[in-house]
């Protein structure tokens, strides 16, 4: 129940060697293009040679690339072309002729229609190998970096850190609400559509989140609270966002509404309190925009506390409704511990944590550094970071609101010279000005935490051209059964 905007419908029938598909919601602007050897509606036979970063099979037909959802490398398939472009097209698998030994039956009952996961049909050990290879391919193709092999030197890319039990890991559910057959529903978007798949169970969610979402939906139905209609812009309840703090058992419910007034508000809160064990916070976020963005600017507490508390590796965090907090606690410890290891702190260093968010990495680093400075453009995140430092009695940290490329030079003018810079940017990677700023500050080490291998590779190239050497990269599987992979990378100054 992540509420990702991945949409589409899949159908699987495994039997008699066939893998059949249901209708596709994709469309194309042209049924044929000059020079392209396929037309929309044509069925072709294709060998799958790879996977895209979104987990689609990469097939070839007469030299033309087709992305085939749910197909795996090494498989031979019949696929119907559903859209085409000059460089590539998309197709749906109609028959599985030769199956990969890594193919598995997806355990999720609604995997055929839900767009939340992309790789449940791929053996988990194969997922980990593929994610490492995805990182390697991006470093070589985009970053123009040499990756170390058995007989060659270069950047060491370690095997992906996986989970011993890669299920039930998410501590946050973000569920879109809609209407089907006149009844309020909530779940995931289908892949390639705006339709919502009703869902009461999700194998990557912690069970407490499932329980909480079910209770909120039932309460809303009982009180006849209207669901938001994305076409008309009418209706009230847009999303239900729930958080579960694994270490404390506390739960938070956030109702995202298309307007401030909630009918039967007191009754709704009472039902949630009655039906959700461990709930300590019920909040409302108001979002009247017609964009797909989940949260609006106004958040208020309907009942209870404004935060819940969770703990990661002995550090306590206050989590507010809009806080960024990693959704996989087990893998977060491994990712952040690797960042601390790469920083090679002895207790004497000055560290700058750019894109520090709510201060999670900053506080990990502060236990091993002399001084840590965190910068983040979102004021609410810095408020959370400062509160988290106070909660843990960590005094050797300082947080500032603003653009890192503006704040960091100011710190330098004040005499602050970082030995280590840590960056954990959004998917678009580091701002170009920030790259230039880091090169001007010339720390001994840069630790780059990334959620996007392609922008990571781009930025590593820029840093290498500026006088740094990428030593090693550690992929971490923060989101099993999806196409996402996180990385922690170490760069050292050439001199």
Q: What is the pLDDT of residues 249-303, one digit of tens each?
A: 999 999 999 999 999 999 999 999 999 999 999 999 999 998 889 999 999 999 9
Residue 323, in any domain of the structure: no
Per-chain mean pLDDT for the chain:
91
Which CATH number do you get for residue 176? 2.40.50.1070
**Same-domain pairing of 218 and 266:** yes
**Same-domain pairing of 276 and 343:** no
Residue 167, in any domain of the structure: no
pLDDT score of 373: 98
Q: What is the pLDDT of residues 75-91, one digit of tens each?
A: 999 999 999 999 999 99
* Active-site annotation holder among 283, 356, 451, 488: 451
Residue 433, in any domain of the structure: yes
Active site residue 451: yes
**Same-domain pairing of 341 and 477:** yes
Burial of 150 (0-12, 13-18, 19+ CB in 10 A): exposed
Which CATH number do you get for residue 443? 3.40.50.150
- Report the candidate in 139, 53, 141, 137 with the shortest Cα–Cα distance to residue 472: 139
**Same-domain pairing of 83 and 194:** no
Residue 482, in any domain of the structure: yes
Residue 400 has pLDDT above 90, yes or no: yes
pLDDT score of 11: 31
Distance between the two ends of the chain, CA-based, in angstroms? 48
Residue 56, in any domain of the structure: yes
**Same-domain pairing of 298 and 335:** no
As a whole number of angstroms, the distance between CA 24 and CA 32 comes to 18
Q: What is the pLDDT of residues 46-64, one digit of tens each?
A: 999 999 988 899 999 999 9
**pLDDT above 70 coverage of the chain, percent:** 94
Residue 131 has pLDDT above 80, yes or no: yes
CB 388 within 8 A of CB 316: yes
- Report the candidate in 59, 136, 51, 60 with the shortest Cα–Cα distance to residue 102: 51
Task: State CA 257 to chain mean position distance.
Answer: 23
Residue 412, in any domain of the structure: yes
Residue 4 has pLDDT above 80, yes or no: no
pLDDT score of 29: 54
Residue 22 has pLDDT above 50, yes or no: no
Sign of CA dihedral 196, 201, 202, 206: positive
Q: Of 312, 344, 371, at which residue does a domain stop?
A: 312
Residue 181 has pLDDT above 60, yes or no: yes
User: Averaged over 341-369, what is the pLDDT?
Assistant: 96
How many Cα neighbours within 13 Å face the side chain of 224?
A: 0
Residue-wise burial string across 193-210, b where 16 or more C-beta atoms lie within 10 A, e elsewhere = bebbbbbeebbbbbebbb
Q: Which pLDDT band, with edges at 50, 70 and 90, does 323 fall under?
A: confident
Sign of CA dihedral 319, 320, 321, 323: negative
Sign of CA dihedral 227, 190, 484, 454: negative
Beta bridge partners of 176: 239
Residue 24, in any domain of the structure: yes
Task: State CA 242 to chain mean position distance.
Answer: 16
Which CATH number do you get for residue 49? 2.40.50.140
pTM: 0.89
Q: Of 46, 79, 98, at which residue does a domain stop?
A: 98
**Same-domain pairing of 336 and 485:** yes
As a whole number of angstroms, the distance between CA 204 and CA 327 comes to 11
User: Averaged over 418-425, what is the pLDDT?
Assistant: 97
Residue 19 has pLDDT above 80, yes or no: no
| Domains held by the chain: number | 3
- Report the candidate in 173, 183, 190, 155 with the shortest Cα–Cα distance to residue 242: 173
As a whole number of angstroms, the distance between CA 240 and CA 249 comes to 19
As a whole number of angstroms, the distance between CA 477 and CA 129 comes to 11
As a whole number of angstroms, the distance between CA 422 and CA 359 comes to 12
Q: Of 312, 339, 358, at which residue does a domain stop?
A: 312
Domain hosting residue 481, numbered range: 328-493
User: Averaged over 29-41, what is the pLDDT?
Assistant: 87
pLDDT score of 10: 30
CB 460 within 8 A of CB 452: no
**Same-domain pairing of 414 and 367:** yes
User: Averaged over 328-348, what is the pLDDT?
Assistant: 97
**Same-domain pairing of 488 and 361:** yes
Residue 21 has pLDDT above 70, yes or no: no
**Same-domain pairing of 353 and 418:** yes
As a whole number of angstroms, the distance between CA 61 and CA 146 comes to 31
pLDDT score of 12: 29
CB 368 within 8 A of CB 311: no
**Same-domain pairing of 195 and 89:** no
**Same-domain pairing of 332 and 308:** no
pLDDT score of 16: 33
pLDDT score of 262: 96
How far are the Cα atoms of 364, 398, 473 from residue 338, in angstroms, in the given order? 11, 22, 10
Task: State CA 44 to chain mean position distance.
Answer: 34
Residue 135, in any domain of the structure: no
**Same-domain pairing of 347 and 472:** yes
């Amino acid at each position: 129940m992540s509420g990702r905007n991945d949409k589409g419908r899949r159908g699987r029938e495994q039997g008699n060697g066939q893998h059949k598909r249901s209708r596709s919601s994709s469309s194309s602007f042209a049924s044929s293009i000059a020079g392209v050897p396929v037309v929309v509606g044509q069925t072709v036979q294709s060998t799958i040679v790879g996977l895209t970063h979104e987990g689609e099979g990469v097939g070839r037909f007469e030299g033309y690339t087709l992305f085939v959802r749910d197909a795996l490398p090494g498989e031979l398939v019949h696929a119907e072309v559903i859209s085409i472009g000059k460089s590539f097209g998309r197709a749906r698998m109609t028959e599985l002729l030769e199956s990969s030994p890594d193919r598995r039956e997806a355990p999720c009952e609604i995997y055929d229609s839900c767009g939340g996961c992309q790789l449940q049909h791929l053996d988990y050990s194969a997922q980990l190998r593929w994610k490492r290879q995805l990182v390697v391919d991006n470093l070589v193709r985009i970053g123009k970096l040499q990756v170390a092999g058995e007989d060659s030197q270069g950047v060491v890319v370690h095997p992906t850190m996986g989970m011993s039990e890669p299920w039930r890991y998410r501590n946050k559910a973000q569920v879109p609400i809609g209407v089907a057959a006149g009844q309020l529903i909530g779940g995931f978007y289908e892949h390639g559509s705006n339709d919502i798949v009703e869902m009461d169970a999700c194998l990557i969610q912690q069970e407490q989140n499932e329980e909480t979402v079910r209770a909120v939906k039932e309460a809303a139905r009982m009180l006849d609270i209207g669901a938001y209609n994305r076409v008309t812009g009418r209706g009230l309840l847009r999303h239900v966002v729930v958080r579960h703090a694994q270490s404390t058992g506390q739960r938070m419910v956030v109702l995202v509404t298309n307007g401030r007034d909630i009918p039967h508000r007191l009754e709704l809160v009472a039902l949630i309190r009655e039906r959700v064990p461990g709930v300590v916070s019920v909040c409302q976020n108001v979002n009247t925009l017609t964009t797909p963005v989940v949260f609006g600017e106004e958040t208020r507490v309907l009942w209870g506390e404004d935060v819940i508390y969770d703990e990661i590796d002995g550090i306590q965090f206050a989590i507010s409704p809009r806080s960024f907090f990693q959704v996989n606690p087990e893998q977060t410890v491994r990712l952040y511990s690797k960042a601390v290891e790469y920083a090679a702190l002895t207790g004497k260093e000055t560290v700058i944590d750019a894109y520090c968010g709510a201060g999670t990495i900053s506080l990990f680093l502060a236990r091993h550094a002399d001084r840590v400075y965190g910068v983040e453009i979102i004021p609410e995140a810095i408020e959370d970071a400062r509160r988290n430092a106070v909660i843990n009695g960590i005094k050797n940290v300082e947080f500032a609101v603003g653009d890192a490329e503006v704040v960091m030079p100011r710190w330098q003018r004040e005499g602050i010279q970082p030995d280590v810079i840590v960056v954990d940017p959004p998917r678009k990677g580091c701002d170009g000005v920030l790259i230039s700023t880091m090169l001007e500050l010339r720390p001994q080490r840069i630790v780059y935490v990334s959620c996007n291998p392609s922008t990571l590779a781009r930025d590593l190239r820029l840093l290498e051209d500026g006088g740094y050497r990428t030593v090693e990269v550690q992929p971490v599987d923060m989101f099993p059964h999806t196409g996402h992979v996180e990385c922690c990378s170490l760069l050292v100054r050439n001199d």
